[in-house]
């Protein structure tokens, strides 16, 4: 899904594309570009009946993980994050071993913690360069990059009657993905010994943006969610892209001879416009298939859930119980609901025309700067309120 939005014009009929280009677009609403200041105007989480979070999984899952890691190319995660964590969760129906990358904030009470969720078909390494850029610009900040089920190294299996793992669980509904994200956040807090989540910004790219809007609209993270940001996805363009999803998936290579070939394809096709980012994130997308490398995530298996991912997203975004930021590579597909909401000042819109669909990978430094400024503008702990009149009178001061 993540690659499709920018590839969409190439998939459409060339005549239709030329005609669409020649049409006069409506004037854009007031907005900021990436080099301008941006401004904007809740307790964890879903619990499981028997959840345990550890740095190392149980013995059964360990063998599965070793088999999986032997089939995947090495990940350069240690260049961008302080640690990788395995968070184990068990319910009556599922056994999950979630995988996240983490650099904790220097002060959990002050934050910020940028919680990142990748798009469909991507992985937690999609935010690798962003994480490094955040730490350079704000050394005390933390970054947590979540990995969805069947993406990266996260493994979710159906639980057998005796509690053992059976076949791989195939449930990619938005409700399940949101529950997974909240579970990872809760288990992360337990692992780190945080009494509560640090002041956070939830940053979601593409499908991850849909997860972020659900979390914000549901108020599951309470006042600790300072704001949420959606990267290059809106309901209208997503629904349009779904019509061409199968065509796009059929048009990309099904496998590669080497990892280097996969990296080269991503940069040559302009799926990723930053070669450094491609080298960081692409290996985590691949799995050994005989003597070749194929895609780890089979997006066709998720087809029945595509529409549900984005249905109602615009309204949910506007209802989100935190400051809102929308980063786009272009404004041509903003739907009516968001256009009206932006003109009413309900959220901040920033356009980064030099980036492709993977904004956080193409321009990580700029994205990091924007997210840091977004947090600073909306951090409630930094607000200095005027003294109460009663306090001034008690101090004998005139009012």
Residues with catalytic roles: 206, 232, 357
348-351 and 323-328 beta bridge pairing:
parallel
Give the start-end residues of each E strand in the chain: 32-33, 50-53, 83-90, 94-103, 113-117, 142-146, 155-159, 165-168, 200-205, 225-231, 255-256, 286-289, 292-295, 323-328, 348-351
Residues 6+ apart with CB under 8 A from 334: 29, 234, 236, 328, 342
CA 391 vs CA 202, 384, 397, 399: distances in Å: 37, 15, 9, 10
Residue 275 token pair: 């070669």
Whether the ω angle into residue 45 lies within 30 degrees of 0, i.e. cis, is yes
Give the start-end residues of each E strand in 26-66: 32-33, 50-53
Residues 6+ apart with CB under 8 A from 255: 289, 292, 293, 294, 295
d(CA 280, CA 256): 17
CA 16 vs CA 46, 235, 248, 271: distances in Å: 46, 22, 17, 22
Is residue 213 within 8 A of residue 320, CB to CB? The reply is: yes
d(CA 334, CA 328): 9
Quick check: helix, strand or coil at residue 270? coil
């Amino acid at each position: 899904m993540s690659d499709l939005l920018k590839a969409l014009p190439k998939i459409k009929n060339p005549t239709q594309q030329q005609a669409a280009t020649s049409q006069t677009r409506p004037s854009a609403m007031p907005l900021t570009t990436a080099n301008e200041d941006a401004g904007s105007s809740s307790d964890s989480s879903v619990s499981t009946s028997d959840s345990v979070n550890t740095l190392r999984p149980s013995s059964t899952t360990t063998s599965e993980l070793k088999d999986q890691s032997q089939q995947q190319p090495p990940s350069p995660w240690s260049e961008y994050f302080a640690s990788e964590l395995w968070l184990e969760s068990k319910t009556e129906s599922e056994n999950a071993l979630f995988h996240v990358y983490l650099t904790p904030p220097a002060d959990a009470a002050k934050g910020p913690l940028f919680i990142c969720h990748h798009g469909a078909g991507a992985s937690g390494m999609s935010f690798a360069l962003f994480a490094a850029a955040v730490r350079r610009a704000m050394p005390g900040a933390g970054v947590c990059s979540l990995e969805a089920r069947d993406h990266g190294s996260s493994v979710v299996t159906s639980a057998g009657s005796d509690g053992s793992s059976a076949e791989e669980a195939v449930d990619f509904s938005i409700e399940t993905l949101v529950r997974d994200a909240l579970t990872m956040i809760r288990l992360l807090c337990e692992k780190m010994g945080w009494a509560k989540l640090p002041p956070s910004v939830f940053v979601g790219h593409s499908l991850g943006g849909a997860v972020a809007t659900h979390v914000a609209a549901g108020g599951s993270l309470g006042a600790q969610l300072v704001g949420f940001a959606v990267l290059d996805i809106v309901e209208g363009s997503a629904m349009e892209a779904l019509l061409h999803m199968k065509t796009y998936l059929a048009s990309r290579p099904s496998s590669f001879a080497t990892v280097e070939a996969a990296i080269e394809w991503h940069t040559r096709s302009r799926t990723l416009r930053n070669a450094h980012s491609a080298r960081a994130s692409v290996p985590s997308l691949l799995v050994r298939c005989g003597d070749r490398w194929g895609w780890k995530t089979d997006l066709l298996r998720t087809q029945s859930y595509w529409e549900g991912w984005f249905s109602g997203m615009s309204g949910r975004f506007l209802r989100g119980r935190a400051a809102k930021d929308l980063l786009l590579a272009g404004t041509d597909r903003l739907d009516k609901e968001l256009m009206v909401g932006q003109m009413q000042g309900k959220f901040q819109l920033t356009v980064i025309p030099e980036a492709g669909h993977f904004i956080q990978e193409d321009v990580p430094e700029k994205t990091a700067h924007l997210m840091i400024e977004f947090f600073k503008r909306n951090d409630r702990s930094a607000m200095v309120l005027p003294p109460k009149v009663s306090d001034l009178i008690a101090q004998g001061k005139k009012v």
